[in-house]
Amino acid sequence: MFEMRERACLGRVGRLRTSHGVVETPALMPVVNPSNLLISPEELRRRFRIEILMTNAYIIYRSRFRDQVLERGIHHILDFEGPIMSDSGAFQQHVYGRVDVSNEEIVKFQTAMGSDLGAVLDIFSEPDSRWRECEEGVRETLSRCEEAVAWKGEMGLVGTVQGGLFSDLRTKCARSLSQIDLRVQAIGGVVPLMEGYRFADLVEVIIASKRGLRPDRPVHLFGAGHPITFGLAVLLGCDLFDSAAYAKYAYDGRMITRWGTTRVKNLRYVSCSCPACFDATPKDLKDDVKRLAEHNLHVSLQELEELKQAIHEGSLWEHVERRSRAHPRLLEALKTLRKHVDFLERYEKLSDGSLFYAGPESMWRPVAWRFRRRVLERYRPPEAESLLILQEARRPYSRTYASLLRDLSLKANAHAVVRSVLGPVPIELDEVYPVAQSVIPRELDVEALEASEVFLRQFLRLGHFSFGVLWEGDKTIAELASKAKGPSSLDMDMARARAVADYQFGSGASDALLGGEVELVKSKKKGKIRNVYVDSEHVLSLRAGDGLYTLKMAGGRRLHATFGPPRLRVVVNEESAPFNREGRNAFAKFVVECDDSIRPWEEVLVVDESDDLLAVGRAIMNREEMMAFQQGVAVKVREGSALS
């Protein structure tokens, strides 16, 4: 059983339940070999707080431990009471060309030794294999996974996506695995990519796999033990990692850092303050393999903690963009994400944290792409004779500057749009996420400037305006604005209320929500819209944090009446309906349908199968997730129809 607790893009903090306890993910499973325990499982648990181990069933199968393990169980032999996952020998097949065991033998062996999670003997696809070869491997892998179900007993089965570098095969293999009774879905055949620094290929493989994998199972990235790849892999939805690297690197005199690897012999300063390093000299690390292995493990675990905190605080993208500067080939991988922005965007929260510009790639973060797309598709400008296109202020987009622009556009009876690296920002949307939450340097990369011009042209091509005027530099604007004393700001407030509604809920939402006698209640301090009443009903609240609406039941009724299914709907079954009507959350396992355009954190309508409105609330998942998960909340209900 797997439950998603927090999220950012495809990344998630989750909880995986096994018969030996619960594991928080993303998690690193140190690989232990009973014949050679550099750091004992007991130490791993006590000193490193390791919750789950990985061991290689094939190696045990061929060792003197085979009978012991069968007799007393793997947990006893390893002296570890937590969950244990075992591998099948597929990797040894890659290394040695063959293995001396059948799928049946090794799966039954894993079941017998008491693994919590045991791997099918999949066919390792080499990155340079041809399509035909990979396709055969995938077919064999799938048939082995299918047959293994019969032998698994209580053990959770681990099936692995193969398919080499062929995205079609990866996705197909993943889709088929999703139909098989597996506990963990793994991505395999990637070690050669990591060894060769082929991180862009790795990203393609993970994304192609994730496109086909059902989202309610944890995903294990086989053989990823170096923290340099953790950030990208977590962002793309990998939940489990296994590391033999901490020990292997130590035996080889290499110190793992979050930026790469350093040979201990080149170490003059121990620039780490982990428990293994704090009192150590470079010589201590050079002479003591175990100490070095401990460091390697600490730094790997710390990276996962940082990633979990980044997911929690909404800074995962910033984290990954920084880490991508560890190596040019990682930067290459980061740039590759742009190709898949439409897929990534489906998993991205409606709003989350800040947007720190770190380079031209930042313009292609899914939230920036979504902003541009929604402006193009959903936004309609208020009536105006002409368009003022304003350069982004040299200094960070400021309140004063924004109010100058508003005054100015009122005076000139022109509509104002600010050209920014996120795309053109209609002045009424300047507080919407991620515009107001972005931090952009004053000096921009040429690529960013050119792209912002392209984005603007896409917007102008919509033909909202008969002609446009370009004002450059804030001095001129300030001068003009000082003379322009607009009338009241009522019109601009209404324009904002309408623009945000269309942006958030789709074209036509402003008419649905704001048709009638509108009263905008503003904050006393800053004079900003906080609540929207229509015909004396409280329809919407506007959040200060992300400039988007919270939907009230009255607003939900208006949207429900205007928009037909499936728009904005999450459909629950009759078992769930009475609870939601009373204001209780809607759980994923009761969801029967969901609007495909709903994104996590979106305000939605909960309806029953007859499209009766049950509640309004915030979606926690997108459609794919709601349909798959059997655990967790799909919609956090705010108001049920029975109570209002």
The smaller minimum CB distance to a second copy, of residues 360 and 600, is found at 360
Whole-angstrom distance, CA of residue 464 vs CA of residue 454: 17
Q: How far is the CB of 267 from a second copy (least distance, A)?
A: 7
Beta-strand (E) ranges in 306-364?
355-356
What are the residues facing 28 on neighbouring strands? 241
- Residue 50 touching a second copy (CB under 8 A): no
Closest CA to 103 of 125, 120, 87, 86: 120
Number of residues lying near a second copy (CB under 8 A):
50
Whether 9 and 344 have beta carbons less than 8 Å apart is answered as: yes
Our finding on whether 398 is near a second copy (CB under 8 A) is no
Site for a second copy in 280-299 (CB under 8 A): 298-299
The full DSSP string for 577-610 is HHHHHTTPPEEGGGEEEE-TT--TT-EEEEE-TT
Residue 167 exposed, middle or buried by CB count within 10 Å (0-12, 13-18, 19+): middle
Q: Which is nearer to a second copy, 214 or 322 (CB)?
A: 322
CA atoms lying within 13 Å on the CB side of residue 10:
32
Can 201 be counted among the known catalytic residues? no
Residues 11/316, Cβ–Cβ less than 8 Å? yes
> For a second copy, which is the closer residue by CB, 93 or 261?
261
Give least dist CB 38 to a second copy, A: 19
Contacts of 156 (CB under 8 A, 6+ apart): 18, 116, 117, 118, 182, 183, 184
| Residue (38 or 270) nearer to a second copy, CB | 270
Work out how close the CB of 397 gets to a second copy at its nearest, in angstroms, rounded to a whole number. Answer: 12
238: helix, strand or coil = coil
Residue carrying the six token digits 């905190």: 309
Please answer whether residues 516 and 523 qualify as being in contact, where contact means their C-beta atoms are separated by less than 8 angstroms.
Answer: no
Tell me if 73 contacts a second copy by CB under 8 A: no
Q: Given candidates 161, 191, 200, 417, which one binds a second copy under the rule CB under 8 A? A: 200
Task: Considering the complex, state which of residue 347 and residue 357 has its C-beta at the smaller distance from a second copy.
Answer: 357
Q: Closest CB to a second copy among 50 and 614?
A: 50
Residues 440-459 that bind a second copy (CB under 8 A): 440-443, 445-447, 450
Residue 507: burial class (beta carbons within 10 Å; 0-12, 13-18, 19+): middle
Of 13 and 615, which CB lies nearer to a second copy in the complex structure? 13
The residues in 252-281 that bind a second copy, with binding defined as CB under 8 A, are 259, 262, 266-275, 278
Q: How far is the CB of 318 from a second copy (least distance, A)?
A: 8
Q: Are 123 and 86 in contact (CB under 8 A)?
A: no
Quote the tokens at residue 343. 């897929």
* Residue of 291, 214, 279 lying closest to 251 (CA atoms): 291
Among 74, 173, 193, 331, binds a second copy (CB under 8 A): 331
CB nearer a second copy, residue 268 or residue 524? 268
From 512, 519, 562, 560, select the one nearest 538 (Cα to Cα): 519
Site for a second copy in 405-444 (CB under 8 A): 439-443
User: Which of the residues 67, 79, 87, 502 is marked catalytic?
Assistant: 87
Contact pattern for a second copy over residues 344 through 373, marking x by CB under 8 A: ------------xxxxx-------------
Distance CA 337, CA 316 (A): 14
Q: Which of residues 300-329 bind a second copy (CB under 8 A)?
A: 301-302, 305-306, 308-309, 312-313, 318, 321-322, 325-329
Minimal distance, residue 291 CB to a second copy, in Å: 14
CB of 455 to a second copy, least distance (A): 15
Q: Which two tokens mark 528?
A: 């900003």
From the CB of 207, what's the least distance to a second copy, in Å? 16
Dihedral over alpha carbons 405, 377, 556, 4 (to 10 degrees): -100
Beta bridge partners of 522: 529
- For a second copy, give the closer residue by CB, 260 or 508: 260
> Tokens at residue 288, please?
């003591």
Neighbours of 314 (CB within 10 A): 17
Closest by CA to 387, choosing from 471, 479, 497, is: 471
CB of 54 to a second copy, least distance (A): 22
Shortest CB 65 distance to a second copy, Å = 32
Q: Considering the rule CB under 8 A, would residue 192 count as an interface residue with a second copy?
A: no
Residue window 215-254: x/- pattern of binding to a second copy, with contact defined by CB under 8 A: ----------------------------------------
Q: Which residues are catalytic?
A: 87
Positions that interact with a second copy (CB under 8 A):
200, 259, 262, 266-275, 278, 298-299, 301-302, 305-306, 308-309, 312-313, 318, 321-322, 325-329, 331-332, 335-336, 356-360, 439-443, 445-447, 450
